[in-house]
Amino acid sequence: MNSVASISNDMLGYLAGTLTTIAFVPQLVRIVRRRSAHDISWGMFCILSAGVALWLWYGILVTSLPLIAANFVTLLLVLAILVLKLRYGSRPRFGKRRSQTETEPEMETEEPR
């Protein structure tokens, strides 16, 4: 019974790890296609990288293959996003950035009588 419970626990870990890991793939694909990472937060991805690295370390310490596999791949994806952020810079690639006054619709005003 204990080995069956262990297998199902590992399967749960692999499923959770797979879903959370592939969640970064659309962002990575978007950055590559647009050649722009201006909307990526340095702070968020640096903190996330540190957290994932710690989860990986923890997985190694407790010898949990689902934790190790998921966090290793996630760390690679997150670091790839940070490298692309460095490569493509912080400014939008397509078009010029418009000022706030250009993006807001003009308000109609009545002429003085």
Q: Which residue has the higher pLDDT, 14 or 94?
A: 14
Enter the DSSP assignment of 23.
T
What does the pLDDT read at residue 39? 87
Domain boundaries, the chain: 8-91
Q: What CATH code is assigned to 8-91?
A: 1.20.1280.290
Identity of the amino acid at 52 = V
What does the pLDDT read at residue 113? 58
User: Per residue in 24-81, pLDDT tens?
Assistant: 999 999 999 999 998 889 999 999 999 999 999 999 999 999 999 999 999 999 999 9
What does the pLDDT read at residue 17? 93
Identity of the amino acid at 38 = H
Polymer length of the chain: 113
What does the pLDDT read at residue 108? 53
Q: How far apart are CA 36 and CA 80, in angstroms?
A: 13
CB atoms within 10 A of CB 112: 4
Contacts of 69 (CB under 8 A, 6+ apart): 14, 17
